[in-house]
């Protein structure tokens, strides 16, 4: 369909690399452009402000990348990824207690964000029809007669393309340029979530050398502290300690450990109290969750595909960012494989991408809104959303089928339709009605 055609991907993060892998199967020439120095190792990049912090590739994202680049999961493992059985090796404390152990039926890999990206970049670099231009800032998208026809670089050079992907991340600078030049009109939604966290990497002490358990400690209000710890490559843990409401966890090592001691459960502190820190502690602030509702745009250029955080950036605590980007890239490949004409591609893609990012948005913001530190008026359906979540939480404590489903929802393997019309729907709504009547 697209033989002889050229694509440009702006941004070489997880979303851009996944998009390049998707496009490589259908376009003759794929050029990936990034303003950063693109290294061949797993070092953190300056352009990825959140790269030093805890990341989790959810199962849906892993499967999407596996479809795009068969064998990528084995590549992650070869790079030192820890494979964990969900429900057993990933301990989750939320809303008053630990989720009971189970084997949810699938595993996930655990790596640092730079390692995930490094492995993915090496696979994409090896594709014969993909090229990279690093240290190459892009000034603007070139739009003619309602079509994106390429990009203009900071030095003024114009590069033509038949299809362009915007993977410039949460600041989305080129989207704002499109609006300023009158090429795009779309609503933007923002929620002030007021989240910050500080992260450190620690060598696992001898006592915990074989410990490959992750901990997500997410207490309910009024507790505003949380902790996310995962085993990663090189015999290390990565630990992000977070706060809501304007507080920022400390960067001083001893104060950081004391902050971990203050979590509602002791498991995290017990593991790092005598552990050696690797490198420096880093802090990241996420004041807002933002999504550009481009699928509702009244004006948008043909042949321009937004992906990942360029379209929707939620609270990173819930680990959805890499997965949303991977799933959107997989959807793009599916549309191209189905012979969708390039001039029809954007409309078809945005409908799917809006649904993917919308699921992540609902899952994260419904949890964020529970905290009074999240500013803004709650949506009209908020009370019902919390009732649904509480019912599912209670059923998951009592019933293994619901426990498995809850994990599948968190890992974006299922949609909420599984509660509306799936085999568990009658039992779920019976329990929901009972809880609302009591």
pLDDT at 42: 67
pLDDT at 47: 56
Q: Is the pLDDT of residue 45 over 90?
A: no
Percent of the chain clearing pLDDT 70 (strictly above) = 95
Q: Is the pLDDT of residue 41 over 90?
A: no
pLDDT at 437: 61
For residues 292-312, give the mean pLDDT: 95
Q: Give yes or no for a contact between 91 and 15, defined as CB atoms under 8 angstroms apart.
A: no
Q: Give yes or no for a contact between 412 and 360, defined as CB atoms under 8 angstroms apart.
A: yes
Domains of the chain from N-terminus onward: 6-82+108-187+291-365 (3.50.50.60), 190-289 (3.30.70.2450), 382-437 (no CATH)
Average pLDDT of the chain is 92
pLDDT at 2: 57
Closest to 215 measured CA to CA, from 58, 54, 396? 54
Q: Is the pLDDT of residue 359 over 60?
A: yes
For residues 56-63, give the mean pLDDT: 96
- Is the model more confident about 53 or about 15? 15
Percent of the chain clearing pLDDT 90 (strictly above) = 79
Highest mean predicted confidence (pLDDT) among 3-7, 37-41, 98-102: 98-102
Q: Count the neighbouring beta carbons within 10 Å of the beta carbon of residue 353.
A: 26
pLDDT at 436: 67
Distance CA 96, CA 43 (A): 38
pLDDT at 139: 95
pLDDT at 369: 94
> pLDDT of 387-431, one tens digit each?
999 899 999 999 999 999 999 999 999 998 889 888 899 999 898
Q: Is the pLDDT of residue 1 over 50?
A: no
Q: Is the pLDDT of residue 321 over 60?
A: yes
pLDDT at 49: 58
pLDDT at 169: 85
> pLDDT of 242-278, one tens digit each?
999 989 999 999 999 999 999 988 899 999 999 999 9
For residues 105-123, give the mean pLDDT: 95
Q: How far is CA 14 from CA 20, 42, 167, 335, 358, in A?
A: 10, 13, 9, 20, 19
């Amino acid at each position: 369909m697209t033989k002889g055609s050229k694509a440009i991907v702006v941004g070489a993060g997880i979303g851009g690399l996944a998009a390049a892998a998707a496009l490589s199967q259908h376009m003759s020439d794929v050029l990936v452009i990034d303003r950063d120095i693109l290294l061949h190792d797993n070092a953190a990049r300056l352009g990825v402000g959140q790269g030093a912090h805890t990341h989790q590739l959810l199962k849906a994202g892993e499967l999407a990348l596996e479809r795009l680049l068969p064998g990528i999961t084995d590549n992650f493992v070869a790079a030192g990824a820890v494979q964990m059985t969900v429900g057993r090796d990933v301990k989750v404390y939320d809303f008053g207690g630990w989720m009971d152990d189970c084997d949810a039926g699938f595993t996930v890999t655990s790596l640092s964000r730079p390692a995930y990206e490094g492995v993915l970049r090496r696979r994409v670099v090896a594709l014969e029809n993909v090229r990279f231009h690093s240290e190459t800032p892009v000034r603007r998208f070139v739009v003619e007669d309602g079509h994106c026809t390429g990009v203009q670089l900071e030095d003024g050079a114009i590069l033509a393309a038949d299809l362009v992907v915007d993977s410039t991340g949460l600041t989305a600078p080129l989207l704002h340029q499109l609006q300023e030049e009158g090429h795009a009109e779309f609503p933007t939604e923002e929620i002030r979530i007021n989240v910050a966290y500080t992260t450190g990497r620690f060598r696992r002490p001898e006592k915990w050398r074989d410990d490959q358990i992750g901990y997500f400690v997410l207490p309910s209000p009024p507790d505003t502290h949380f902790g996310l710890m995962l085993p990663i490559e090189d015999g290390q843990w990565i630990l992000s300690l977070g706060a809501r409401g304007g507080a920022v966890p400390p960067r001083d090592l001893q104060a950081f450990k004391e902050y971990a001691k203050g979590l509602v459960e002791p498991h995290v502190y017990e593991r790092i109290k005598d552990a050696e820190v690797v490198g420096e502690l880093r802090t990241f602030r996420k004041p807002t969750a933002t999504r550009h509702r481009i699928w509702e745009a009244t004006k948008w250029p043909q042949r321009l595909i937004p992906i990942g955080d360029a379209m929707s950036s939620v609270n990173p605590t819930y680990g959805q960012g890499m997965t949303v980007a991977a799933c959107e890239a997989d959807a793009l490949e599916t549309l191209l494989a189905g012979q969708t004409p390039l001039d029809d591609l954007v409309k078809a893609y945005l409908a799917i991408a809006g649904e993917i990012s919308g699921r992540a948005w609902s899952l994260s913001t419904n949890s964020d809104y529970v905290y009074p530190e999240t500013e803004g008026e709650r949506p009209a359906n908020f009370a019902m959303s919390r009732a649904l979540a509480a019912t599912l939480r209670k059923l998951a404590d009592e019933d293994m089928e619901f426990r498995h489903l809850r994990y599948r929802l968190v890992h974006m393997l299922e949609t909420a339709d599984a509660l509306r019309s799936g085999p568990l729907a009658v039992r779920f709504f019976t329990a929901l009605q009972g809880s609302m009547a009591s």
